[in-house]
């Protein structure tokens, strides 16, 4: 199987898992995480019907987003201040915001360019030390700060689950869904309307994420690696 076929296989299974959970396929965006592959593999995925791609480095984002502007490009990696001008405007959605300094800089650059940048707040639900993101208790204050930045629009939350235990992954995703619901209740109606996204689930745990309400899954190896085994 090539990239095109693997993309279509994941896409078909996603439709099945949505159905099994009483959800609509159109409620979940499948982001093909192309961070480990070159432009040719992106072309294969596009041929298979992919529309959304994820990159974790500004250089990969710039190269591929500029080659394939017909796709939507998501930035899912570590944000560095000095690269923010390369990400703003190019990324449809920045998934990995959790610092005040970065929030202010993204707002500033977006303002200079006359646009509003969509972002997600990354949350470290599991508390694993190796994971980045805010502790759940720190999210309300950070969201309030972001809501005051006119060129930033917070669309929801993002998390990564610990690897290797699907039960722990399920609890992590349910934790994010609970937090999202609590936060939405605190927002003004027009802001709550935009605060709908939950980016969670990767190659091994996306089924648990969809069951917990993910609106975006980020899948890399299951699409792009020919050695990936469930
Ligand atoms: C690499 C990466 C993914 C995709 O992981 P796979 O296990 O390859 O599906 C998803 N999200 C983030 C933030 C990543 O860095």
Any residues with CB less than 8 A from the CB of 78 and at least 6 apart, and which?
56, 96, 132
Question: Looking at residues 53-81, what average pLDDT do you find?
Answer: 98
State in Å: Cα 130 to ligand 1 middle: 15
Nearest in space to 169 (alpha carbons), one of 129, 137, 201, 192: 201
Domains of the chain by range and CATH?
3-224 (3.20.20.10)
Is the pLDDT score of 203 beyond 80? yes
Summarised one tens digit per residue, pLDDT across range 51-61 is 999 999 999 99
Summarised one tens digit per residue, pLDDT across range 115-125 is 999 999 999 99
What is the spatial distance between Cα 62 and Cα 13, in angstroms, rounded to a whole number? 30
What is the spatial distance between Cα 206 and Cα 215, in angstroms, rounded to a whole number? 11
Q: Which pLDDT does position 229 carry in this prediction? A: 77
State in Å: Cα 204 to ligand 1 middle: 10
Answer for the pair 163, 204: CB distance below 8 angstroms, yes or no: yes
State in Å: Cα 34 to ligand 1 middle: 9
Place of tokens 């599991």: 126
Q: Which atom of ligand 1 is nearest to the CA of 56?
A: 15
- Rounded to two decimals, what is the model's pTM? 0.97
For atom 6 of ligand 1, the residue with the nearest CA is 220
Q: Which residues pair with 134 in a beta bridge?
A: 123
Give percent above pLDDT 90 in the chain.
95
Nearest in space to 66 (alpha carbons), one of 50, 58, 81: 58
């Amino acid at each position: 199987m090539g990239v095109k076929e693997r993309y279509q296989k994941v896409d078909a299974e996603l439709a099945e898992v949505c159905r099994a959970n009483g959800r609509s396929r159109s409620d979940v965006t499948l982001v093909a995480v192309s961070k480990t592959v070159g432009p040719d593999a992106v072309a294969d995925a596009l041929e298979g019907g992919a529309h959304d791609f994820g990159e974790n480095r500004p250089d990969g984002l710039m190269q591929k987003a500029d080659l394939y502007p017909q796709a939507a490009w998501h930035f899912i990696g570590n944000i560095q201040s000095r690269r923010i001008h390369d990400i703003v405007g190019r990324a449809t959605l920045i998934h990995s915001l959790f610092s005040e300094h970065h929030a202010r800089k993204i707002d500033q650059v977006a303002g200079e360019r006359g646009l509003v940048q969509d972002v997600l707040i990354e949350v470290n639900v599991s508390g694993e030390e190796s994971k980045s993101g805010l502790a759940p208790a720190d999210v309300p204050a950070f969201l309030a700060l972001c809501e005051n930045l006119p060129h930033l629009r917070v669309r929801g939350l993002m998390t990564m689950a610990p690897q290797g235990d699907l039960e722990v992954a399920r609890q992590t995703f349910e934790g994010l869904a609970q937090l999202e619901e609590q936060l939405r209740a605190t927002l003004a109606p027009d802001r709550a309307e935009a605060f709908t996204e939950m980016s969670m689930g990767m190659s091994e745990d996306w089924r648990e994420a969809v069951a917990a309400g993910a609106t975006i899954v980020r899948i890399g190896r299951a699409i792009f690696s020919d050695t990936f085994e469930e």
